[in-house]
Amino acid sequence: MQNNTKIFRLEGKVQHYAWGGSDYIPALLSRQNPEKQPFAEYWMGGHENAPALVVTAEGKIPLNEFIAGNPATLLGKTVNEKFGRLPYLLKVLDVKDMLSIQVHPAKSAAVAEFEAENKKGTPLNDPKRNYKDDNHKPELMVALSDFWLLHGFRSTEDTAVIIGKIPELNFLIPYHDQKDHARIYKHVMTMPQHEVNQALQPLLDRIIPLYKEGKLEKSDPSFWAARAAITFNEPGRIDRGIFSIYLFNLVRIEPDYAIFQDAGVPHAYLEGQNMEIMANSDNVLRGGLTNKHVDVDELMKHVKFTPVEPRLIMGSVEMETPEGQFAETRFKTPAPDFELRQIWLPEGEQLTVPVDTADIFFALAGKAEVKSGDTSFELNRGEAMLAIPGAEVSVKAIGDEVVIFRATAGI
């Protein structure tokens, strides 16, 4: 580490998943994209699949290797003893097409199941492998636009109303339980494919024309069911994840509001842009709205079938400028792996934040001068930096107002 430097420029990695948009992330990163390639996610973390690069005087070093070289110093004593690695992964997402319905395992389950698949000899890159690492994956997302998602099971009362008023779903009434959704969800997830086709085809025949004619609102589950059918159905196979669109909460989040998704809560991102932070994991168990591998038996082991009341989170004020203006807000969750903060500074204002572990700063808007010790540089929109323990990071807004997300550990 040169000259006792405490802050470093950081270069993230773009993930070009097919569901991503082609404009938002390239514009954010000031990159050209003439071929309209999908830019789905921008990763800023130390995950081995796509580690960010730390810019040092000796060259660019993958963040996971950079930290592994001296974890006690670069993570701080507490975080190093608990995790031994950077515990979080920070991302920007641009969701153009719907993502798969998914569930993430709890930590203990991830450890056990990862080891079990290793003993079977299943390669890590096998598309039918369920566990890519030994970690859980709680997530927090902050909306950067109007954002739509599915999040947990509806109340049993709402489910009764929906399957009662939609004629094509009336056949599910005998499977409905007032206590939880285990019985009805198991039924739709284990139905033979030909029965799924028979049940859903009449519904799709009715709602797809309405969708194409612009007669369905996004607040109507049938809007997303029709879109899912157009996106994911294959000849002879209607995606059974369409049932879940009617069983899960359909949630719209306005910009600057957040939502937390813990282990076992089924969810799916539908549309919009967000800032996301999660435990450093890539473990995903899919439940539909996908052409990828779906292991129903494994999925059912981890799903929480109890109804969820979606709870939107607002950032709580942690620090203010000397003039008493909001300067840093904190999105609180129960996850020890991560915490997301948001710095907002009007032109000319300045804030100094102490750092006691490896923190990642990402500029969403504006231009800032950042300084710690003898090191300083400009952080422009779309740029990131790493700060390590002992840094006293001074952030000053230059020109327009500055919005910076700051990722840190949650302990």
Residues annotated in the binding site, as ranges?
102, 104, 139, 267
Q: Are 394 and 379 in contact (CB under 8 A)?
A: no
Burial (CB count within 10 angstroms: exposed 0-12, middle 13-18, buried 19+), residue 2: exposed
368-to-125, 351, 357, 363, 397 alpha-carbon distances in Å:
40, 11, 22, 8, 5
Task: Enter the tokens of residue 409.
Answer: 């550990």
Active site residue 286: yes
Task: Enter the tokens of residue 30.
Answer: 């000031």
- For 79, list phi and psi in degrees, rounded to 5: -65, -40
Beta-strand relationship, 13-15 and 285-288: unpaired
Residues with Cβ within 8 Å of residue 364, at least 6 apart in sequence? 28, 144, 275, 381, 403, 404, 405
CA distance 381 to 27: 10
Residues with Cβ within 8 Å of residue 115, at least 6 apart in sequence? 134
Dihedral of CA atoms 28, 32, 36, 38 in degrees, nearest 10, equals: -40
Q: Are 99 and 269 in contact (CB under 8 A)?
A: yes
- The backbone region for 297, taken as left when phi is positive above 0, alpha when psi lies in -120 to 50, beta otherwise, is alpha
Of 85, 227, 240, 286, the catalytic one is 286
Write out the catalytic residue numbers: 286
